A = this chain, B = another copy of it.
Amino acid sequence: MEQNAFFKLPRLYVDSPLVADAAVPLSAEQAHYFKTVLRRQDGDSVRLFNGRDGEWRCTLKDLGKKSGFAVTEEKIRPQPEPSPGIHLYFAPIKKSRMDWLIEKAVELGATHLHPVLTQNTEVREINVKRLRQQVFEAAEQCERLDLPELCDMVKLQSLPADLPILACLERGNASPISTALKSDSVACILIGPEGGFTAAETAWIGQQKNWTPASLGPRILRSETAACMALAAVLLDRS
């Protein structure tokens, strides 16, 4: 089978280890997806990844409507060496925009997702299970082999002063983010909430000795757009 042909096989995330000759149990949702949505049957090839063991071509076995197995056949992509981390610090936003932010952060290579509480953060609790599901689905979709880590929520003023954070500020006179990036080292990006940082928060950010204010341009971007642009800046800087 040609390398390119593998891309046409359906691809799902599993938590199980992926090694040679393993029969990986499918969840009820996964069995339903293969059997009922995609109409696959025993012997058909699919792809599995778990964020640790590369990507495997597997064949379906004992596939029912709510259960089944995928038997590992061959490793088709190795797990890549980790690249320098991309930490996205973001204030939780409302449901559909948050889903979108998570999906885009996965597509655009964030390695760590840190929800941050600020004064204007309207959404002060997050549904970890729901956000993890967004992470898995986005990784399945975009062919990514590693999975970003969803970290605990922190308060803005509890973020360590020694982190080299690029704080994306609007309506200031900060330098463009492209000039503030340092290639090939860990990138830490802070995106403000809907409504922006308060004046007190902006002043506090300016006092953090290792933090760098950065501008994303003259327009007022929504939080999830700002996250996309900042992540794109990191990727372009490294490309």
Contact = CB atoms under 8 A, between A and B. Distances in A.
A108 B220 contact: no
Contacts of A217: 109, 235, 239
Interface string A157-197: 00000000000000100001111000000000000000000
Tallying the copies of this chain within the complex gives: 2
Interface in A204-239: 217-222, 225, 228-229, 232-233, 235-236, 239
Interface stretch (A22-30, A39-47, A136-144, A148-156): A136-144
A104 interface: yes
A107 interface: yes
B219 A142 contact: yes
> Chain A contact residues: over half helix, strand or loop, or mixed?
helix
A127 interface: no
A137 to B, nearest CB: 11
A135 B135 CA distance: 29
Interface in A90-104: 96, 100, 103-104
B144 A219 contact: yes
Given A236-B233, A239-B176, A104 B225 contact: yes
Interface string A80-120: 00000000000000001000100110011100000000000
Contact of A229 (B7, B103, B176, B235): B235
Interface of A: 4, 7, 96, 100, 103-104, 107-109, 141-144, 171, 176-179, 217-222, 225, 228-229, 232-233, 235-236, 239
